[in-house]
Amino acid sequence: MNKRLLTFIGVIAAFLVVAFFKSSNDEQSQKGIPTVGILQLVTHPALDQIHNGAIAGLKDEGFVNGKNIKIDYQNAQADQSNLKTMAQKFINEHAKVTIGIATPAALSLAKAADGQTPVLMGGITDPVGAGLVKSINKPGGNVSGTSGDSPLQAHLDVIKEVVPKAKTLGIIYTSSDHGGTYHAKKMAKLAESQGFKVKLYTIASTNDMQQVAETMANQVDVVYAPQDNGVASAMKTLVNVTNQNKIPVIPAADTMVKDGGIATIAVSQYQIGYQTGKMAGEVLKGKKTATMPVVSVTKGEPVINLKEAQTLGIDLPDKLVQQAKENGEVIQ
Amino acid sequence: MSIIVSSIGQGILWSILGIALFLTFRILDFPDMTVEGSFPLGAATAVTLIVHGVSPILASLVAFVAGSLAGFTTGILYTKGKIPVLLAGILVMTACLSINLRIMGSANISLLNQKTIFSNAFLQSLPRYFDMVVLGLIIIVVVTAALIWFLQTELGQAFIATGDNPQMAQAFGIRTDRMTIMGLMLSNGLIAFGGAVIAQSNGYADINMGIGIIVIALASIIIGEVIFGNLSLNERLIAVIIGSIIYRLVLLAVLQLGFSTNDLNLISSIILALAMMLPQFRKALRLDGILKKGVRPHD
């Protein structure tokens, strides 16, 4: 057998044997300032907002990076094989608290933490369904945080106010997007129970948007676009098609209204992150995740796009415009 | 210390993919893109079955069968349909996305608090991260030994001959099409099995977990070859395992040194491209004599 190969095997085996017997006293004491690990799945406007909000939330609890905490920020850039190594790096650094942005990131942290290190979810769509917490009110373990559940009923009310005559609701989402799928199906049930005829459309990637939108535009009266990364990216394509058919799009996020949605009740991703950051601060001060209820950030403000309303020839209800002017956002 | 153990453990688990890709990439001598589809296919199959109460070991074996079917499809498209092999792999990989969605019913299924192959009492009694190392070693030793045995049988020899020189193999009466399909089935079955094991180790299966898999598997093959030079076929399989461990340790070093993780993919690709061009550099610089020192010629 090749000498060099044997040497390598020998070194790795020797290391493992040493590690095996040393592992018990590996838990060295923490020196210096505590570490906060932030793990993000991919660079994306909504997720970046959560990240920025989390840092602001920590700051308002009195924790500033480089002063009294060290923030270790890792982004897996959609390569999920790296999530595990990054999560374990936090555990290895004896991070006092970790924040997971997007479901796979939170799951990787929960797995690596193994019930020990606190994990805070940054706007996870379905924490109970993902097995991260036992229940929303009593998480019961080392995981808590915020859920980014869309205020679906509020969105449906906007649809009814803006397009009172609409009968058929088209919902478009990305089939590989966990949040998008979850919200689309929930919205379909909700809308059907309130008398709408619902048609679901999926895209596999942003490249499908043009064709799917063209098919959809001839079959529905109004379109709902849930909290979905793929649809958010292709929003402009969607609106180009629906505008030609004079169909309004009610999206779930404020960024999607800027890209041509007509109106929505938007929960700011920054706010979700901010709440997560504040909770991380509370954990640093000694609060236990097991008894911290998962906070669902659903209080939203109206965001309207007047230019889009003009294009479609729709008069937005005065009450909605008034509210948007007062506490929401008006896009001219 | 423990994070190095964790990286070694992951290297051992991921080496299943390296070994599987070796069958197509090095023995049959073509790049098989199917792996980016069969990997999440195996994960989706196993995790869905486990959530529905099937035993984790059985679920992982069913994942192997699912992956073989993906490989079989690529093989048929290539040998009977005369579609170029790279394209055939890409077609199957793309189709797998829809199939995985059908299997899972959502984009992400969590295994937290579910029984997995790692839940056995003995594995859980080991120090942290040694469950990966021990189970990974058991799996990889069994897989490698089975392959070494297989490649020495008459069928295995015919398979190697098909990769070496298809025309000559045909002249000897070897049915090269069948050998190619068999190689693709075996390779993708192993990849899917690897996907099942890794999903259980990660605690979830996600529809997008196949992204970048082929580079990871290639990296373990190439690193093994560059570091160890000329080896016999059996030693080359072992070199892939070591290569996979080294790749994880290099990644860990990059992370620990505080490089921006956004650059990881670029760094991986550059390292691989350089490693693959090494023979050309050697030729150009006539460094052969210098580099070969310390490596024995072929056993």
Give the model confidence (pLDDT) of B42-68 as tens digits. Answer: 999 999 999 999 999 999 999 999 999
Q: Least CA distance to A13: which residue of chain B?
A: B8
Measured between CA atoms, the residue of chain A closest to residue B250 is A85
Average pLDDT of the residues in B214-218: 91
Supply the pLDDT for residue A46: 83
Q: Under an 8 A CB cutoff, do B113 and A177 touch?
A: no
Length of chain B: 299
Chain A residues lying within 8 Å of B127, measured CB to CB: 19-20, 23-24
Structure-token pair, residue B51:
């959530």
* Nearest C-alpha in B relative to A203: B98
Inter-chain touch A132–B112, beta carbons under 8 Å: yes
Nearest CA in chain A to B255: A86
Enumerate residue ranges in chain A where pLDDT < 50.
26-29
- Mutate: best of B114, B208, B246, B299, partner A, most A CBs <10 A: B208
pLDDT at B293: 54
How many Cα atoms are found within 13 Å in the side-chain-facing hemisphere of B122? 4
Nearest to A224 by CA among A195, A269, A186: A186
Say whether A82 and B261 touch across the interface (CB within 8 A).
yes
Instruction: Taking residues B175-187, report their average pLDDT.
Output: 96
Cβ <8 Å between A5 and B239: yes
Q: Measured between alpha carbons, how far is B234 from B239 in angstroms, rounded to an integer?
A: 9
Do B21 and A38 form a contact (C-beta atoms < 8 A)? no
Is A23 close to B127, i.e. CB distance below 8 A? yes
pTM: 0.83
pLDDT score, position A21 = 85
- The reported pLDDT for the residue numbered B292 is 55
B125 reaches A (C-beta below 8 A): no
The answer to whether the CB atoms of A176 and B133 lie below 8 A apart is no
Bridge pairing between strands A97-101 and B204-206: unpaired
Q: Looking at this protein, which amino acid is placed at residue A78? A: A
Please name the helix (run of DSSP H) or strand (run of DSSP E) that holds residue B110, with its range, or none: strand B108-110
CA distance A83 to chain B (A): 9
Arithmetic mean of pLDDT over chain B: 90
pLDDT at B288: 55
Q: Report phi then psi at A280, rounded to 5.
A: -60, -40
pLDDT at A32: 78
For the packed helices B233-256 and A81-92, what is the interaxial angle rounded to 10 degrees?
50
Q: Which of B227, B199, B9 is nearest to B114 (CA)?
A: B199
Assign B117 a pLDDT band (cuts: 50, 70, 90): very high
Question: Which residues of chain A are within 8 Å of residue B245 when distances are taken between CB atoms?
Answer: 12
Q: Is there a contact between A5 and B5 if contact means CB atoms under 8 Å apart?
A: no
Inspect the interface and report whether the beta carbons of B101 and A132 lie closer than 8 Å. Answer: no
Residues of chain B with C-beta less than 8 angstroms from the C-beta of A89: 3, 252, 255-256
Q: Is the pLDDT of residue B271 over 90?
A: no
* pLDDT > 60? residue B289: no
According to DSSP, residue B258 is labeled T
Q: Using a CB-CB distance cutoff of 8 angstroms, which residues of chain B are in contact with residue A15?
A: 4, 8
Confidence tier at B299 by pLDDT (50, 70, 90): very low
The answer to whether B113 contacts chain A (CB < 8 Å) is: yes
**Residue B295 pLDDT:** 52
Q: Which residue of A has its CA nearest to B240?
A: A5
State the maximum Cα–Cα separation within chain A, in Å, rounded to a whole number.
82
Question: What is the nearest CA distance from A5 to chain B, expressed in angstroms?
Answer: 7
Residues of A in contact with B3 (CB under 8 A): 88-89, 91-92
Phi/psi at A74 (nearest 5 deg)? -125, 135
Contacts of B295 in chain A (CB under 8 A): 2, 4
For chain A, give the secondary structure using H, E and C. CCHHHHHHHHHHHHHHHHHHHHHHHCCCCCCCCCEEEEEECCCCHHHHHHHHHHHHHHHHCCCCECCCEEEEEEECCCCCHHHHHHHHHHHHCCCCEEEEECHHHHHHHHHHHCCCCCEEEEEECCCCCCCCCCCCCCCCCCEEEEECCCCHHHHHHHHHHHCCCCCEEEEEEECCCHHHHHHHHHHHHHHHHCCCEEEEEEECCHHHHHHHHHHHHCCCCEEEECCCHHHHHCHHHHHHHHHHCCCCEEECCHHHHHCCCCEEEECCHHHHHHHHHHHHHHHHCCCCHHHCCCEECCCCEEEEEHHHHHHHCCCCCHHHHHHHHHCCEEEC
Pairing verdict, β A168-174 and A143-147? unpaired
Contact list, B198 vs chain A (CB under 8 Å): 81
